[in-house]
Amino acid sequence: MSSRPPLLPVLSALGGIATFSVMDAVMKSGSTAVGAFEAMLLRAAWGVALMLPIWWLRGGRVPEWPVLRLHLTRGAVGAVMAATFFWGLVRTPMATGMALSFIAPLIALFLAALVLKEPVGPRAWQASLLGLAGVGVIAWGRLGENAGGTASHGAALAGVAAILLSALLYAWNLILQRQQAQVARPDEVALSQFLFGGLVLLPVAPFVWVAPAPHAVWLIGGGAALAAVSLMLLGWAYARAETQWLVPIEYSAFPWSALMGRLWFGEALTAPTVGGAILIVAGCWWGTRGHAPDHVEQTSL
């Protein structure tokens, strides 16, 4: 196990997270215009159109069944994860939504225990209490911001619940991302995410589809391009560095999301959001300190 993170994969991961944060702002705007599920379907269509020629020109071939099954699994998890995140993000400020999603590494510890039968030590339980306290602070802040009645409270809590569900799926996605990066090129990873994610959501189309305005279609196309770049940057990074060095970089999304929320939507950064984010990040740091994430990946490969 390396004692120092490699520079280029870290820079690639930083670029991928920054690009994803800008994509979140674009997709929040697109989801507001056409709905989260339709926005995800449009993004998937754009993504396949963008990535299929690149994959083909690079000599892409249909992978063997074990790799294809991994692509299918992550595509399905990613589709539901993204749809619930964007649905919640429409009802939640960007910085708040991103702070809530930071609970994912803590969930990953317990998910690894469930799937890989690893023991959960006292440090993980202590970290979980810190993380849950952070979630509680953020939820309390959201209720305070929406003190206009039962409907406002309900919308605020629904947004928080959707993002927490997305964080649960994202914890699983972190393990799948590392597995996928070990067996497929970045362009194949990006294409599979769009293709299989879109296929998973396709049955929902008859219930949510409305004719989108042209500006929404182009906006979501921009989101697809940003997502493709981010997926390839992260795929390249995760193929070349241990997850223990890359997962903490996820937290760089918070200032990017706060900036995008402020510039794009005029959202203020509130004290409960900052306080809750600090508690969640502290919990994740405490829970993963001394833990060997690379062992989790090697066992699950």
- Measured CA to CA, the distance from residue 104 to residue 268 in angstroms comes to 24
pLDDT score of 140: 79
What does the alpha-carbon distance between residue 11 and residue 128 come to, in Å, rounded to a whole number?
29
Q: At what angle do helices 271-288 and 104-116 cross, to 10 degrees?
A: 30
Question: What gap in Å lies between CA 290 and CA 300, rounded to an integer?
Answer: 19
Domain boundaries, the chain: 7-300
Q: What is the pLDDT along the chain (301 residues), one digit of tens a residue?
A: 455 667 888 899 889 989 999 999 999 999 999 999 999 999 999 999 999 999 999 998 999 999 999 999 999 999 999 999 999 999 888 888 888 887 877 777 677 667 656 566 777 677 777 877 888 888 777 767 665 555 566 777 888 899 989 988 988 887 787 788 788 988 998 899 999 999 999 998 998 888 899 999 999 999 999 988 998 898 888 788 776 677 677 778 888 888 899 899 998 888 888 888 888 778 767 765 654 443 333 222 2
pLDDT of residue 68: 94
Q: Could you give the CA distance from residue 252 to residue 255 in angstroms, rounded to a whole number?
A: 6
- CA–CA separation, 102 and 106 (whole Å): 8
Instruction: Report the candidate in 280, 284, 264 with the shortest Cα–Cα distance to residue 272.
Output: 280
Structure-token pair, residue 265 = 């939507």
Residues 6+ apart with CB under 8 A from 27: 39, 43, 86, 89, 220, 223
Give this prediction's pTM: 0.77
Task: Tell me the C-alpha to C-alpha distance, in Å, between residue 269 and each of 26, 103, 134, 145, 262.
Answer: 19, 19, 16, 12, 8
